Structure 1
Amino acid sequence: MLEAQGPSPECERRSQRPSEANYTGQMLEVWPGLYLGGAAAVSEPDQLRAAGISAVLTVDSEEPSFKAGAEDEDLWSFFVPALDKPETDLLSHLDRCVAFINRAHDDCRAVLVHCHAGVSRSVAIVTAFLMKTDLLTFEEAYGELQNIKPEAKMNEGFEWQLKLYQAMGNEVDTSSAIYKQYRLQKVTEKYPELQNLPQELFAVDPTTISQGLKDQVLYKCRKCRRSLFRSSSILDHNEGNGPVAFVHKRMTPPFVYHLSCTSYFIEPVQWMESTLLGVMDGQLLCPKCGAKLGSFNWCGEQCSCGRWITPAFQIHKNRVDEMKMLPVLGSQTRTI
């Protein structure tokens, strides 16, 4: 078994950075017991052994093939398939990567995080670890990492994803509006023809379930009272700049600007599936009575407040009613 040279003889984890860059072959120690490197860093088991590394996290297009002898040394490994492209989904893997590093440190193992060149994908993973472990902002963690390794430069897509990670409290919350909006954008990139969309993209139709509704607001068609979506499906957004955002439209007076949101932007619901497949934009109609509820556009639409939402599934507030479940009686009351 490799002798893990952790943060200290007692395997205590410290938050301070190495005072000087500690290079070991193709690897650089960027945090006590945490190394950053490229593909060459795992080419020879002797290099890992010399640094006391017994855990390797690979984020690359192909899983590394460790040379004979590495497995015999009880080497932990974790592989994340990812290309160094802005559209690559790295956000969904961050929690598992950070957890792997933490488990290795708890077992007194030094960890190597590497990709092909050691400047983008692996840098993004280590930045996420520093953000969560040392409670740093993205700018702080990335800046400190670049001070230690000046050539570190993740692509703009990973920067955006780490900022979303920060906005979620350095934890991937799949139920949050931030993650749902992110997932929708990724689906648009992955399925440009908008066919065979994954079922997990769609929120459950509220007419098919009753459990869990007592703590949420239910939205129904104002015309026929058909249940359409729950409050958990609403994707909140920061209010836009109001009239300033519509100057490009060169509207001729008289016209009315709305300073507040007149629509709900929601995640797609199961009843929308047949309407959305293979179509870039169109109307959203009530699946029961056919009343117009709003519209959708995979390329995005502008809210009445001025904020641009991409992709957009827009339901006009004046076409639906809010129905709140009373916790005691279990009945519904309309709120106006």
Structure 2
Amino acid sequence: MSFSRVPGADNLYVGGAWALNLEGHRQKLYDQNVTHVLSVIKFSFDKWGEEAKRLKHMSIDVMDDSDTDLLVYFSSAVRFIENGLYPSANDEDKEASEKRQARDDGTSPGGVYVHCAMGISRSVTCVIAYLLYKYPHRFGGKQFVPSVTSAVRRRQTSKEAVQKALEWVREGRGAASPNDGFMRQLEIWWEMGCPAESDSAVEQHPIYQKWLYERMLKESRDIRQAPEAEQIRFEDEVELGDEAAEAEADKADGREVRCKKCRRILATPKFVVPHTPNPTERPESPNCAHVFIETLSWMRPALEGGALEGRLSCPNAKCGATIGRFAWQGLRCSCGEWIVPAFSLNRSRVDEVAPRRTDPPAIRLPPGRNGNL
């Protein structure tokens, strides 16, 4: 089948390039009021002549490869699809609300065709990105409320949400099957809250920027090299967006880590990397001998030398005690869990304590007083 309709009220179609190369299929698209074409492949209408004027076109030239960054295009792709299905008020003779109303048959007023080469991976990925953006309530579970759900909750539901959206598309196109890399990018898109307020919304998002950083670290590990000094991301120097800050706040109830010798604070709770002991790997060592933390600015002298691994020392110049080690290629904790990259503090060299309260203490009233003045 050259093209298929995505289930639902949207006049949205997905398929391969054949639908645009065969005249008979093109006429079927016209009959369905398709006015916009999103090509997730290098495609041109130059040879169409005057007929090309019937369509608005956007082309994203990417390969169907799990390492391809398609995520960065999601915002612009979603905005293009939305504008095609529900035209905005660009002319002054009609109100935007009128243009966004459904047609008499209950479908969207406009029509969009999203295609790649075969209509299996790239085009389906962009369609799923749109569905997650447009109808989050369909894919978030019974208790999912997009307006109040935390970033942590979105991360927990990302796999389920993307899989549900894929199954939705497969009801109309059974061959739909994005590659594993694109599926992961869709999960990240969901974690980000599907930002589409501008074409550059993804590129500017802190979660996307951290994902790019992790990809860079993986490339460095693959060639067994430490990242360049100017590429290292120190998490305590990164300005977080609202959603990322919200996710960090959910981790703030833990314990801060201090040097056992001088009591210098090494990491607050939000920079502690949680990991789960693996009793099946090493049942004789159920407890962890390490505390793993994010890359922090006090590590700069140890990391900027370009070593793949090395020691971590207390940043207090009067102390300088060896407190742990780092390994860009990762470390296996005593509990059996692998952490990559690893910035490990030895539990025998540090203390974990509850953070000091910053709010003022409650006023204690004398006996017999109920607080009324």
Same fold by TM-score greater than 0.5 = yes
Aligned position for 2:45: 66
**Residue 297 (structure 1) aligns with:** 327
| Corresponding position of 1:77 | 58
Task: Report which of the two has the higher share of strand.
Answer: 1
| Cα distance in 2, alignment partners of residues 198 and 74 from structure 1 | 45
Query: Does 1:159 pair with 2:183?
Result: yes
Residues 266-325 of structure 1 deviation map (CA, whole Å, 9 limit, x = unaligned) = 2x2344456446433333333444433333333332345443233333334552666446
Q: Tell me which amino acid in the other structure corresponds to 1:86.
A: S
Does structure 2 conserve the Cα–Cα contact (< 8 Å) formed by 1:205 and 1:229? no
Deviation string, structure 1 residues 152-180 (Cα, Å, up to 9, x no partner): 2222222344445556666789556xx78
CA distance in 1, matches of 2:257, 2:38: 45
Is structure 2 residue 292 aligned with structure 1 residue 264? yes
8 Å contact kept, 2:277–2:286: no
Instruction: Name the CA shift for 1:260/1:117 in 2 (closer, same or farther; >3 Å).
Output: same
Q: Show structure 1 runs of 5+ residues with no match.
A: 1-22, 207-211, 248-255, 330-336
1:221-273 CA-to-partner distances (Å, cap 9, x unmatched) read 45456564454434444x2432x1237xxxxxxxx61346841332x234445
Q: Deviations over 1:162-213 (max 9, x none)?
A: 445556666789556xx7875454122344444447648332449xxxxx9x
User: Which residue of the partner structure matches residue 142 of structure 2?
Assistant: none
How many pairs align?
282
Which residue, out of 272, 282, 288, partners 1:246? 282
Is 2:82 the counterpart of 1:55? Answer: no
CA distance in 2, matches of 1:83, 1:114: 13
8 Å Cα contact 2:36/2:57 also seen in 1: yes
Rounded to whole Å, the distance in 1 between the matches of 2:335 and 2:212 is 23
Structure with the greater alpha carbon radius of gyration:
2
Consecutive unaligned residues of structure 2, counting only runs of 5 or more, are 88-108, 140-160, 196-201, 239-244, 362-373
Q: Which residue of structure 1 lines up, in the alignment, with residue 234 of structure 2?
A: 202
Note if contact 2:38-2:59 (Cα within 8 Å) is conserved in structure 1: yes
Could you tell me how far apart the structure 2 residues matched to 1:122 and 1:197 are?
A: 38
TM superposition shift of 1:70: 7.1
In the alignment, does 2:112 pair up with 1:111? Answer: yes
Provide the residue aligned with 1:28 in structure 2: 4
What is the identity percentage for the equivalent residue pairs of Structure 1 and Structure 2? Answer: 27
Aligned residue type for 1:98? V
Structure-2 separation of matches of 1:83 and 1:53:
25
Q: Is the 8 A contact 1:294 1:316 kept in 2?
A: yes
Quote the Cα distance in structure 1 between the aligned partners of 2:346 and 2:65: 36
Distance 1:163 1:195, change over 3 A: closer
Query: Is the CA contact 1:119–1:151 (under 8 Å) kept in the aligned structure 2?
Result: yes
Shift in alpha-carbon separation, 1:203–1:95, aligned structure 2, 3 A: same
2:66 is the counterpart of 1:86:
yes
Code of the residue aligned with 2:350 in structure 1: it is R
1:326 pairs, out of 345, 358, 361, with 358
Shift of 1:69: 4.7
CA distance in 2, matches of 1:88, 1:34: 25
Question: Contact 2:289/2:346 (CA < 8 Å) preserved in 1?
Answer: no
Structure 2 CA distance for aligned equivalents of residues 227 and 71 of structure 1: 64
One-letter amino acid matched to 2:44: S
Q: Determine the C-alpha separation between the residues in 1 that align with 2:325 and 2:62.
A: 34
Structure 1 range deviating more: 317-326 or 133-142: 317-326
Q: 1:312 to 1:126 in 2, by over 3 A?
A: farther
In 1, the alpha carbon distance for the partners of 2:194 and 2:315 equals 39
8 Å contact from structure 1 (residues 185, 310) kept in 2: no
Paired residue type of 1:55: H
Q: Which residue of 1 aligns with 2:271?
A: 233
Report the Cα distance in structure 2 between the residues aligned to 1:283 and 1:98, rounded to whole angstroms.
Answer: 46
Distance 2:313 2:272 in 1: 18
Contact (CA 8 Å) 2:64, 2:179: kept in 1 or not?
A: yes
Structure 1 position 326, deviation (Å): 0.8
- Over 3 Å counting, the alpha-carbon distance change for 1:175 and 1:324 in structure 2 is farther
For 2:19 and 2:4, the matched residues in 1 are separated by 10
Deviation at 1:138, TM superposition (A): 2.7
How far apart in 1 are the matches of 2:232 and 2:22? Answer: 42
Q: Is the 8 A contact 1:58 1:115 kept in 2?
A: yes
Q: What SS class does the counterpart of residue 283 from structure 1 fall into?
A: strand
Closer, same or farther: CA 103–258 of 1 in aligned 2, 3 Å: farther
State the Cα RMSD in Å. 4.2
Q: In the aligned structure 1, how far is the partner of 2:180 from the partner of 2:120?
A: 13
Aligned partner letter, 1:33? N
